[in-house]
A and B are shown apart, each in its own frame.
Chain A
Amino acid sequence: MSQEDQSALLVEVTPEEILQRAAIDRSTRLPVLFFFTSAAAWLLIATILGIISSTKQLVPGFLGIDWLNYGFSQPAFLNALLYGWAFQAGLGVMIWMMARLCRTELKNPITLVVAGHFWNAGVAAGVLGILGGYGTAMKWLEFPPMVWPILLVSYSLIVVWLVVMFSARRKGSVFISQWYILAACFSFPWIYLTANLILNVFKGTGVAGPAIASWYASNVLFLWLVPVGLGSAYFIIPKIVGKPIHSYQFASLAFWGLIALAPWTGAQDLIGGPIPAWMPAFSGAAQVLLLIPMIAITFNHYLTVKGSHKLVELSPSLRFTFFGSIGYAVTSVSAAVLSSMVMARYTAFTYVSDAVAITGIYMFFSMTMFGAIYFIVPRITGCEWVSGGRIRFHFWGSAYACITLAVVLLAGGFSHGAGTENWDSDMHDANVFSSGYLVGRILAWVFLAAANAVFLHHLALMVANAGRKAGGPTLIHPHAPYDEAELVITTEGAEA
């Protein structure tokens, strides 16, 4: 791959090209909208569960319902957020981007929608199973054991068509986003099958069990969420800025750095635990080394946007994606902090691990997906987002909440760890030290609930074909007349 190859992304748009893109968008309309809407619905459910579980942690008697106890609502919340929202939003983006980048129409939208229904049924059964007291203790695998084959088969049925599309692609050169999406296609079945076979079928894992569950959780984060999010960012940023990625060689190297290092991570959750000492040492080292591809990627994004910061202010897609790119840096840094031996004394088994999960799933991945959804939906529905004000509310509600969550969970985690170090107070000090931060966490989830309700309503209007039919693309701010001269957003909006 060379610098020239990616110019394919930015070719002069001919009338023929526009017709072809419209045909591709039409072919993906059904499955992509299906995944986006069901993802957004799960997002709202997860947000409400988030409010409940974070309140339950501080006030165990809240609502007085036993099956919403923290031990049930916390895993139900995290799994709904991950498998309900993140995976489905990611699948929608993967389908559309793969079709666009391969310049092929999607041949079998119905298969994908059917598989998507099974995925939704699996997630619903899993979340209800956790709340009903049939969950497991495995990190990010808390769904009852009967659920995993449903999820695995429906996921494979979806991504197999993406691989088929890739094989049937029209042009020889391949863009970096395609490699990221392909990697995500293969990585999830691999790690999900491995972890579930060993933990739910073979069993008898002893101390290897939690190490394997942590390996799985870390790999979902760095081998599924990160590739899909970055694939999307590498597509959206150059499209909106209207110039190629700053350094394509760097992007390529960072991709392989990520793929080679990420599968080693995970066991650092158990520093000092009764597993062979080389495991957390290896994993921790890999996690810290992952900072190198992260720095390369974040700088690449930053340097691509440099000079066009006005667009970050105006374009919803670019603003969300750019914020997500910052979230990726925050996730990587906090994951690296968690895995150092010195820090682990204060961070292991505290809210810092929640900080990594939430920054990874929300501040990075979800924000990037929002960016992609704001870009894709007008193209496949043929109408524009109703109001920039709603997008602005969604952005600031989410951004403030994400930053608050990252700060309170990191600070609360360190306080909790410091409180645990008092030898004669049992857990009293730890809980008192961290309780103030937990109030902040509840507030952040309330903010997110408001932002997501607005987003869901906005998306529902678009799906119901009640969007704006005329005029240019919806921007976050209505652009002032004096901006008109310098404002060139060629690729934003349904026409492009």
Chain B
Amino acid sequence: MNSLKNFVLILGTCFVVPTYCMVVQPFAAERNRQTVPYVMEDPGSGKAFDAPELKGLSYPQAFAGDRKRGEEIYARQGCAQCHTQVIRPDYAGIDQFKKGWGKDRGDAMVPTRQTNMWDYMHEDFAMIGQRRIGPDLANAGYRFDGTTAETDPAKVKAEKQRALNDFYLYLYAPRARREWSISPGYRNLFITRPKEGAGSELALKLPANLAPAEGLEIVPSSDARALADYVLGLKRDQPIPVSITGAKPKESK
């Protein structure tokens, strides 16, 4: 094997096969991935069926609003250096049972479902992340949950706004919420400006040591608002269609 030609041929073979298997084929599979409609079969037929309230929907639902731009901000600000977005099965880690990583808000241990390929199919690049220095954000939407049992529209709106402001405060000064946090504050995503009238409803309510001078207010920039749309929308717990899980049909009640 002393000729360049043979060397390049063998080298090429060594590269091409793994590149196809580890790169091209998985990429093609993701590009061809389709949303899966929930199926409403009659329980009597013995075929699989999904919950009735999912009728006419597909899994997963597409991103809404400014989430696409929020995803880009998330990548550019280096969030994925410290935050993962993946709930692995129990053989690989405790993710499913970790307190606060799913829908659970209380002290009870509520298992979170694993993330799967469909959960990421609308993303340009799944933000699985490189390190897990901060908490997992696969279900970050529930960390800043603005839903409430109230029915009064004014109260519902106020609760939503409170959750949003919580998020902005955390983004601006993580230690205002948890003094042991080692998350950096992203002050570059906020604007300090003169207060107009009563001030914006988005203005941060900061503790005294961080508050701006009298007559000024700190409001999130459009980048921060897009990021909020994205992070507060991260709820990877949509029901998986039975056609994917292959579960046995449920007994009708």
Q: Which residues in A have some Cβ–Cβ distance to B below 8 Å?
A: 1, 56-58, 60-61, 66-67, 69-72, 74-75, 130, 133-139, 142, 163, 166-167, 172-174, 179, 182-183, 186-187, 190, 194-195, 198-199, 202-213, 215, 256, 259-260, 263-264, 266-267, 270-276, 279, 282-283, 341, 344-345, 348-351, 353-354, 416, 420-421, 423-428, 430-432
Contacts and interface: CB of A to CB of B under 8 A. Distances in A.
A207 B120 contact: yes
A218 to B, nearest CB: 10
A172 B4 CA distance: 11
A260 B17 CA distance: 10
B18 A172 contact: no
17 contacts: A66-B188, A135-B76, A137-B81, A187-B11, A195-B23, A207-B120, A207-B126, A209-B126, A263-B18, A264-B22, A273-B128, A274-B114, A274-B126, A348-B93, A349-B132, A420-B98, A424-B99
A208 B26 contact: yes
B8 A186 contact: yes
Closest 8 CB pairs of A and B: A71-B78, A272-B92, A272-B88, A349-B132, A263-B18, A137-B80, A209-B125, A206-B30
B206 interface: no
Contacts of A204: 30-31, 124
Contact of A1 (B1, B115, B184): B1
B93 A345 contact: yes
A274 B75 contact: no
Interface in B184-203: 184-188
B249 interface: no
Contacts of A174: 2
Contacts of A210: 125-126, 128-129
Interface residues of B, number: 77
A205 B4 contact: no
B191 to A, nearest CB: 13
A138 B125 contact: yes
B70 interface: no
Nearest to A66: B188
Contacts of A74: 78, 81
B130 A420 contact: no
A206 B117 contact: yes
B184 A270 contact: no
B27 interface: yes
Given A1-B2, A205-B125, A212 B23 contact: yes
Contacts of A273: 86, 88, 92, 128
Contact of B19 (A207, A208, A263, A348): A263
A167 B23 contact: no
A420 B117 contact: no
A74 B123 CA distance: 24
A271 to B, nearest CB: 6
A468 B120 CA distance: 61
Nearest to B132: A349
Nearest to A266: B22
B99 A134 contact: no
B92 A205 contact: no
Contacts of B115: 274
B74 interface: yes
A88 B120 CA distance: 37
A183 B78 contact: no
Contacts of B21: 264, 282
A270 B27 contact: no
A279 B22 contact: yes
B123 A206 contact: yes
B184 A70 contact: yes
B29 A208 contact: yes
A57 B124 CA distance: 28
A60 B14 contact: no
A274 B186 contact: no
Nearest to B94: A421
Contact of B182 (A57, A130, A172, A215): A57
B126 A263 contact: no
Contact of A209 (B33, B74, B76, B124): B124
Nearest to A130: B78
A411 to B, nearest CB: 16
A199 B125 contact: yes
Contact of A427 (B2, B7, B120, B133): B133
Contacts of A166: 4
Q: Which of A211, A256, A272 has the most CB of B within 10 A?
A: A272
Contact of B131 (A199, A349, A421): A349
Interface string B41-62: 0000000000000000000000
Interface in B75-100: 75-82, 84, 86, 88-89, 91-94, 97-100
Nearest to A183: B11
B171 to A, nearest CB: 12
A275 B18 CA distance: 16
Given A137-B130, A172-B2, A348-B92, 12 more contacts: A56-B184, A61-B185, A66-B185, A71-B81, A134-B76, A137-B79, A273-B92, A274-B128, A420-B93, A421-B94, A426-B100, A426-B135
Contact of B99 (A60, A70, A270, A423): A423
B14 A428 contact: no
